[in-house]
Amino acid sequence: MRLWPYFFRQALININNNRVVHFIGLGTMVVSLLIFGTFLLVFVNINTWIEGWGHSLTMSVYLQDGIKEKNREKIASHIRSLPAAEIKRFISKEEALKDLKSVLGSEAGLLKDLSKNPLPASFEVIFKYVTDLRSDPQIIKKELESIDGVEEVQYSEEWLKRFEGLMNMIKLVGFIIGGLLFIGILFIVINTIKLTIYSRKEEIEILKLVGATDWFVKTPFLLEGVIQGMLSGILAILTLFSVYLFLCTKKMHFLGLGVLEFIFIPHDYTLSIFLISIALGLGGSFIALRRFFEV
């Protein structure tokens, strides 16, 4: 145990003597871990959004132009009678046009030449606890479309299926890219430690001649890899958290399903990134040392 301060001090000396190489290696490791962390952040948030939408089903019930108030109330009454159904709001033609102009922003001027409002009035309906529905959403859709005065019904499940496919694709791409990045990080650590070993080759040979054990010589180099891994993990996590804080300041709408709220990756994922970075640093150092010592 008394040797650990010496090992740690020697590792820091090695890093300082080869600081340019270590700085380049550290920067590359941080970028690689940040790319992997970004995939995790995207995957976690998409998964959360899908799960959130999966517990409720949103339907837009579009009404025919010129529908009478009596018919509209009849449609609203029918919707309320459906299991777990709740009318979130009624959107008039004027409100629909106003919402569209808001979405278009600076391009809203394109609508000024319209002779009449082409958008239909609609009910925005939420079915809570989709798993408790006694009817298939497609059946409910057809039932509502059969009511006099209803033009069309659209519901979010059609998009959720696409999201699930997107999530699976992101998961696959994340695993592939993550694997390639980890191999790249190992290669970086191996070459960084090799350069450090070459710069101290004569000193290592002298230590061996005076009876130093292999592990006495190896340990500072292994600690180099651990320190490089720790620093890259911490910097990558802090950078990823900064990206997350930036996204939290932006209100993002997607497909009319409301404001998307971002969450940071869970603590166990954060810890995994940190531990993986240390393991890669240690593993890369160990592989590099095998070229010069008998294990």
Which parts of the chain register pLDDT below 50? 131-132, 134, 253, 255-258, 295
Residue 52 confidence (pLDDT):
62
Distance in angstroms (rounded) separating the CA atoms of residues 240 and 34 = 6
Residue 26: inside a domain:
yes
CA separation for the pair 71, 148 (Å, rounded): 8
Among residues 155, 187, 212, the one where a domain terminates is 155
Predicted pLDDT at 295: 41
- The parent domain of residue 104 ranges over 55-155
State the pLDDT at residue 238.
95
Residues 168 and 270 in one domain: yes
Cα–Cα distance measured from residue 40 to residue 27, given in angstroms and rounded to the nearest whole number? 20
How many distinct helices (H) and strands (E) make up the chain?
9, 6
Same domain assignment for residues 203 and 217: yes
Instruction: Give the pLDDT confidence score for residue 56 in this predicted structure.
Output: 65
| pLDDT score recorded for residue 54 | 55
Pairing, β 252-253 against β 85-91: unpaired
Structure-derived torsion over alpha carbons of residues 206, 210, 216, 219, reported in degrees to the nearest 10: 0
Domain CATH code at residue 127 = 3.30.70.3040
Is residue 295 a part of any domain in this protein?
A: no
Residue that finishes a domain, picked among 124, 155, 186 = 155
Q: Which of 115, 59, 114 is nearest to 91 (CA)?
A: 59
Q: What is the pLDDT of residue 261?
A: 73
Residues 240 and 173 in one domain: yes
Buried b (16+ CB within 10 A) or exposed e, 25-47: bbebbbbbbbbbbbbbbbbbbbe
Write the pLDDT tens digit of every residue in 173-183.
878 888 888 88
pLDDT at 230: 94
Residue 44 sits in the same domain as residue 31: yes
Strand pairing category for 150-155 and 56-63 = antiparallel
Judgement on whether residues 23 and 90 belong to the same structural domain of the protein: no
SS3 category, 271: helix
- Structural domain total, the chain: 2
pLDDT of residue 271: 93
Indicate the pTM of the whole model.
Answer: 0.61
Conformation bin of residue 105: beta by default, left when phi > 0, alpha when psi is -120 to 50: left
Last residue of a domain, one of 133, 155, 177: 155
Same domain, 43 and 129: no
Burial of 253 (0-12, 13-18, 19+ CB in 10 A): exposed
Residues 170, 25 share a domain? yes
For residue 96, give every residue at least 6 positions away whose Cβ sits within 8 Å of its Cβ, in sequence order, or none: 117, 119, 120, 121, 122
Statement to judge: residues 192 and 101 lie in one domain? no
Whole-number pLDDT of residue 32: 86
